[in-house]
Structure 1
Amino acid sequence: MPETAYILPACLLLGLPFAGFLLLWLGGKGLNHVAGWMGAALTAAGLAVSLIYADLEATHTLHFNWAVIGKTSIEIALRFDRLTCLMLTVVHFVALLVQLYSTAYMHGDRALHRYFAFIQLFLFSMIGIVLSGSLIVMYIFWELVGLSSYLLISFWYFRPRAVWAAQKAFVLNRIGDAAFLSGILLLFYYTGSTDFEVISEEITALDPMILTGIGLCLFGGCVGKSAQFPLSGWLPDAMEGPTPVSALIHAATMVAAGIFLLARIAFLLTPHAQLVIILIGTITMLTGAVQAVRAWDIKRVLAYSTMSQLGLMVVAVGFGSWETAIFHLTTHAFFKAGLFLSAGSVIHAVTPADPVAGFDPQDMRTMGGLRRALPITFICFAVCAAALAGLPLFSGFLSKDAIITEGFLWAEKYGAAAYIFPILVIFSAGLTAYYMTRQVWLVFFGEKRFTTFPSVHAHESPAVMWLPMALLAALSFFIWFSWNPFAAGWFLEWLGLDEAVHLGWIPVVATLTTIVSILLAYREITAADPFSLHAPATEKAARKRTMFNCLRDYSSEHYFIAPFSWIAGRLQKLEKRGIDAFVDFVGRGAVVLAHMIATFDKYIVDGAVTLTVAAIRSSGQVARSIQNGRIQSYYIATALGVFLLILWLVVA
């Protein structure tokens, strides 16, 4: 198919959502009753275009002149290849299901036209990133994704926390975007282009240190957009937006943009840059998993889980296998979107018609025993949770094991110390199984704790909500990605990983780790009082704030202050125990040394001077006693001198 044939699909893919945004935005509240179906129809049309024009065997590029600066021509480059086809399908498919789900979940909202308009704007921005053939074009749509994310998080702008969460997401993403832009400018300075095809040929002449710096700057964009340490704080609070928004942009698509970026620039990442990427990804992976273990909000647990899984994808890129990262991105998009939509179904089921004092419909401690009241939601949630936990026969098992395998193959090249990273990946997988078991139990098993609130009547969601959940749950099984339930198969080969290696012991170790973690979670959650962690047990424990506790404080009052407060506290202790102690030591030492010098000066220096003066004075006294003016004294002196002279002559 000629390159010009892709002008039409490019215009349709970008034009349909943008036209939908303008139509719904300008149409006003009069379109509220049809806004969801209009948005879903446009997205379905985009999905059809993506599938019709999918060419898995070739790469097609489009170039349009945009501006000429001196002798430099800046082009808008669009790219259709295998990775583009996959991402277009995932983005459109998840967006379609989310919009269908939202027609029921958001029913009755007075600003539905605005909600679905913002989703279309987000879809336009995300598709632009996927179609980008150069970093300049990607950066333009990258910023538009940040804008649409801000608008969706703050959709309920009358809620102060929603506005704060949107501002936080916007600010932290801008920090990462500044690094991203710096990398783009450096790359343009050294190669004269940001087109992926051009820079892949030009970077061979660059100094490795410069290339490492450029790669890390570009990685900064991923750190912000994909919520990596230390810019991961915006993701949990982004749950303040509507739950379908969480499923769309904060679980399946927007946060995946950073991983997509890394897949596009994987060819310019040096070993040193990959090592930094592994370190950042590992910290994020473990931090997210540990925080998920301690969370009680049903959506916040999933948000921390998203942080952890994104860290795992980043680690996979650091291992030099962007294919396995994209593999996990795809499986994660389905089962995590299913989890968020199922969580929304639970929240929808237990939310009373009128607010009830002391009842939080998102707190898992107010749930329990919901599997009978919500049988379909329970099955969908359990299937997607099993996929996230990495149980066999589910897609998450395949993609996680593929990453672990690549990790051990990577470690073989760099020595014994490198094995710590794939081992930590296995440990993180165990934590994932632990907190998902905890969440499923607290929500669907045990005592019905919501019955203490008479106005709460749990009920199953309508079909338009549970059908998307069921479809996502069905896509969480292994069969869609491999014919072998215990090894990654055709999907990885389709992505281009021709030399995929299967280590037979890894599925066994991963499965045993998952099972042990599930048993530990079951033992703890059934033995402990789920309400026992409402507050620290003692005042001393309440005052104790470690670095981890400080960094996990995502409240609107403390999020930005807490890290600086922790640093200030540690500096205060350093000043008191270190600097002040050193100054005191120096001061006391100076006093002791001064006393020693004073003693030396008094008895040695002054003593020597006094002794010299006394000796001279005594000599003077002797000389003066001889020169006394008496003749007999002179005779005695003369006789004594003559005697001594004769004695000297005799002896000599």
Structure 2
Amino acid sequence: MPDDASPLVSFLMVTLLGLPFAGFLALMRANRSLSGMLAIGLTGLGLVLSMVAVMQLPQEAVTIRSAWATVSGVSFGVSFRLDSLSGLMLVLVHFVALLVQLYSLSYLHDEPKLARYFAYLQLFVGAMLGIVLAGNLLVMYAFWELVGLASYLLIGFYTERPAASKAAKKAFLMNRVGDIGFLIGIFLTYYYFDTLEFDTLLTTDITRVPSTALGLCLFLGCVGKSAQFPLLTWLPDAMEGPTPVSALLHAATMVAAGIFLLARIHPLLSPDALVVIALVGTITTILGGYSAVFQSDIKKVLAFSTVSQLGLMVAGMGTGNVGGAMFHLLTHAFFKAGLFLSAGAVIHAVNTQDMRQMGGLRKVLPTTFIAYSVCVAALAGLPFFSGFLSKEAILGGAFGWAGEQTSALAYMVPVLLLGSSGLTALYMARQWRLIFFGSYRNESNSLAHAHEPDWLMRGPVVILAMLSVWFWFSVNPFSGHSSWFFQLIPVAEEPAIWWLAPMSIGLVAAGGWVGFQMREPNNTHGYVRLSLEYGFLDTIYHYLLINPTHKLALLLSRADRRVVDGTVNGLGVSTVVLAQITNAIDRFGIDGLINGIAWTAGQLGQLTRSVQNGRVQSYITVAVAGLLVLLWWLL
């Protein structure tokens, strides 16, 4: 039953959650030709209802609750919560998902499993909406795991490709590592606070509990889902899924779930936990950025840029700048989705993801080139684009946070985050040059066949590029603090740092110039391999975890075969031999003795019967024989 929600908002929340799951069930049996329009219709309806729900949202958060189960006298309920943060995410998830599905109609028009593809997308959107609307940690965890399942299905959609199946399993397993920590954090939360409801947790006093351990356990869920150090290597491999899926996963859905979690539980994080979170985010930003520098796959460069930007958001959360981090999540959703969908148009034109086989495409893909350039500028953080506003909000908050710390080492966090702006510009300028400038280098696919896609693909790209310009978010192109966004999610006032914007612009300009001018080095160099192999993290995992686990498994298998199976088989053989011996003793010993006695008795009886024949001669003979035996015995 509703707790404090108005009937209309309660109805909208339930309907928004139900639509994608109903769509999933319907699309699993839908006709291929109608599946796309049905999915788009449901998502479009969800977008309209989301905007209505946001407009109807009162000043206070709206919560609906229902009893679910009672265990050992403790009642656990299902609750959903709608506030300004979840309302923003509702609109964002629906909007990006709608554009991705429109794009997919053309991009995957020849896909034989199209109905299943749209069904998986609906399941994914429904799971993400469940996370956004969750009113307690238990409900959030249920949908959290459902997002993992849906991402597994989408990443491994091309089941005929071994690389896709491997990438799906890798994503699923690495996310489970983080989810274990998340689940432990949920147990600790209930142990210390006797509740999992956000309404209570967000106003509780954390000073009476060991909140650092609790907060870090909850943060592990973000580490897995948002690909933070050291669990970041699954995200680049997830590019094996369809390109529209990459846009959805990397823009406003799966990877954003971890950032949303941090925003939701931020009051539960102690100062020590926040320092760890800031450090993890900073390391992820730098490592993700450097890993993108020498990649040759167009989608992997964008994947590592996502890792880097997620690290920037996590570092913002660690420095207490929830508003700045969520602002960057919003702007990032548009320009990153635009980049992935633009990359899909490029791949569609030249039939390769290898940037070394591209070049000169600005002439044959002019619309894609303009849209890609706008989104690149936003990602790099150039003025007059949305990324500049949100990055400056995070960097300003980071420098303000460092000034409040007792150690000067705290300035390493904002300085490295500032340096990542130049690193982002470097690898994006390199990618921009390899794709659109120079001479065309693909000998196997003639440039004469390359052309712009239809407007079902170009339309979403153009819309996302337009939304990457500054004026949608702030009147002032050099500051986002006057943005409408911060009226929804307030940001702490930080002292003005006059040199921050010029320094950031200078680093972006320098990084962009270096990236545009750099030539491709030999892949055998150590610094190149460090980038191509994700900081050797997978190699380290193989040496420290996978290989020892594999060897242990082989050792246990050998022990099972030789010791356990040998012992069992030996006992089995021994039992059979013993049974045969027992059977022989029974047959020839015990049965033989009994049968012999019976035979002897039978013979004696037969002899006795032969004497009792009514003849006097026989009786005299027996009497004489008996007398002789008696005399022999006595003498």
Task: Provide the TM-score with structure 1 as the length reference.
Answer: 0.80
In the other structure, the counterpart of 1:511 is 505
TM-fit CA distance, 1:567: 10
CA distance in 1, matches of 2:446, 2:471: 44
In the other structure, the counterpart of 1:116 is 118
Q: Aligned with 1:294: secondary structure? A: coil
2:434 counterpart of 1:436: no
2:347 counterpart of 1:347: yes
TM-fit CA distance, 1:73: 1.3
2:402 counterpart of 1:421: no
TM-fit CA distance, 1:497: 2.0
CA contact (8 A) 1:215 1:273 kept: yes
CA distance in 2, matches of 1:46, 1:370: 37
Quick one: which amino acid aligns to residue 315 of structure 1? A
TM-fit CA distance, 1:452: 5.6
TM-fit CA distance, 1:57: 2.8
TM-fit CA distance, 1:386: 0.4
Q: Aligned with 1:26: secondary structure? A: coil
CA distance in 2, matches of 1:397, 1:277: 23
CA distance in 2, matches of 1:132, 1:151: 23
Query: Which string of whole-angstrom CA distances, capped at 9 and with x for unpartnered residues, describes residues 456-490 of structure 1?
Result: 72111111000000000000011111110000122
In the other structure, the counterpart of 1:193 is 195
TM-fit CA distance, 1:413: 0.6
Q: Aligned with 1:171: secondary structure? A: helix
CA distance in 2, matches of 1:36, 1:318: 41
CA distance in 2, matches of 1:564, 1:286: 24
TM-fit CA distance, 1:387: 0.1
Query: Which string of whole-angstrom CA distances, capped at 9 and with x for unpartnered residues, describes residues 76-105 of structure 1?
Result: 111110001100011000000000000000
2:14 counterpart of 1:26: no
Q: Aligned with 1:75: secondary structure? A: strand
TM-fit CA distance, 1:565: 8.7
In the other structure, the counterpart of 1:643 is none
Query: Which string of whole-angstrom CA distances, capped at 9 and with x for unpartnered residues, describes residues 372-393 of structure 1?
Result: 1000110111000000000000
Query: Which string of whole-angstrom CA distances, capped at 9 and with x for unpartnered residues, describes residues 161-200 of structure 1?
Result: 0000000000000000000000000100111111011123
2:446 counterpart of 1:479: no
| 1:46-445 superposed matches below 5 A | 46-54=46-54, 55=57, 57-204=59-206, 206-207=208-209, 210-351=210-351, 361-414=352-405, 415-445=407-437
Q: Aligned with 2:68: secondary structure? A: strand
CA distance in 2, matches of 1:548, 1:486: 33
Deviation larger for 45-54 or 502-511: 502-511
Query: Which string of whole-angstrom CA distances, capped at 9 and with x for unpartnered residues, describes residues 398-420 of structure 1?
Result: 00000000011001111422111
Quick one: which amino acid aligns to residue 412 of structure 2? I
Query: Which string of whole-angstrom CA distances, capped at 9 and with x for unpartnered residues, describes residues 422-477 of structure 1?
Result: 11011111100111100011000111112564487211111100000000000001
CA distance in 2, matches of 1:222, 1:366: 36
CA distance in 2, matches of 1:549, 1:438: 15
Quick one: which amino acid aligns to residue 427 of structure 1? G
CA distance in 1, matches of 2:532, 2:107: 34
CA distance in 2, matches of 1:198, 1:237: 39
CA distance in 2, matches of 1:509, 1:566: 46
In the other structure, the counterpart of 1:561 is 542
Query: Which string of whole-angstrom CA distances, capped at 9 and with x for unpartnered residues, describes residues 559-599 of structure 1?
Result: 8525559999xxxxxxxxxxxxxxxxxxxxxxxxxxxxxxx
CA contact (8 A) 2:292 2:531 kept: no
Quick one: which amino acid aligns to residue 80 of structure 1? L
Aligned pair partner of 2:486 in 456, 473, 493:
493
Instruction: From the superposition, tell whether residues 566 and 305 of structure 1 become closer, same or farther in structure 2 (CA, over 3 Å).
Output: farther
Number of aligned residues: 541
Quick one: which amino acid aligns to residue 196 of structure 2? T
Instruction: From the superposition, tell whether residues 349 and 546 of structure 1 become closer, same or farther in structure 2 (CA, over 3 Å).
Output: closer
Q: Aligned with 1:65: secondary structure? A: strand
Quick one: which amino acid aligns to residue 362 of structure 2? R
Quick one: which amino acid aligns to residue 366 of structure 1? Q
In the other structure, the counterpart of 2:16 is 13
CA distance in 2, matches of 1:454, 1:6: 55
Query: Which string of whole-angstrom CA distances, capped at 9 and with x for unpartnered residues, describes residues 285-318 of structure 1?
Result: 1110000001110000000000000000000000
Q: What's the RMSD between the two structures over aligned residues? A: 2.1
User: Which segments of 5 or more consecutive residues in structure 1 lack a partner in the other structure?
Assistant: 352-360, 569-652
Query: Which string of whole-angstrom CA distances, capped at 9 and with x for unpartnered residues, describes residues 330-357 of structure 1?
Result: 0000000000000000000111xxxxxx
CA distance in 2, matches of 1:567, 1:56: 56
In the other structure, the counterpart of 1:536 is 524
CA contact (8 A) 1:179 1:220 kept: yes
CA distance in 2, matches of 1:453, 1:43: 37
TM-fit CA distance, 1:226: 0.2
CA distance in 1, matches of 2:424, 2:128: 28
Query: Which string of whole-angstrom CA distances, capped at 9 and with x for unpartnered residues, describes residues 609-643 of structure 1?
Result: xxxxxxxxxxxxxxxxxxxxxxxxxxxxxxxxxxx
Instruction: Calculate percent identity across the aligned residue pairs.
Output: 49
CA distance in 1, matches of 2:169, 2:546: 21
Instruction: From the superposition, tell whether residues 23 and 244 of structure 1 become closer, same or farther in structure 2 (CA, over 3 Å).
Output: same
Instruction: From the superposition, tell whether residues 116 and 25 of structure 1 become closer, same or farther in structure 2 (CA, over 3 Å).
Output: same
Aligned pair partner of 2:517 in 520, 523, 527:
523
Quick one: which amino acid aligns to residue 69 of structure 1? V
CA distance in 2, matches of 1:470, 1:304: 23
Quick one: which amino acid aligns to residue 405 of structure 1? G
CA contact (8 A) 2:324 2:491 kept: no
Instruction: From the superposition, tell whether residues 78 and 400 of structure 1 become closer, same or farther in structure 2 (CA, over 3 Å).
Output: same
CA contact (8 A) 1:323 1:497 kept: yes
CA distance in 2, matches of 1:453, 1:392: 37
Quick one: which amino acid aligns to residue 152 of structure 1? L
Q: Aligned with 2:65: secondary structure? A: strand
CA contact (8 A) 2:371 2:461 kept: yes
CA distance in 2, matches of 1:291, 1:274: 25
TM-fit CA distance, 1:499: 4.1
Q: Aligned with 2:29: secondary structure? A: helix
CA distance in 2, matches of 1:374, 1:547: 33
CA contact (8 A) 2:228 2:280 kept: yes
Quick one: which amino acid aligns to residue 480 of structure 1? W
Q: Aligned with 1:369: secondary structure? A: coil
Instruction: From the superposition, tell whether residues 430 and 65 of structure 1 become closer, same or farther in structure 2 (CA, over 3 Å).
Output: same
Query: Which string of whole-angstrom CA distances, capped at 9 and with x for unpartnered residues, describes residues 527-569 of structure 1?
Result: x3x4x53x427xxx6xx998877654688xx68525559999x
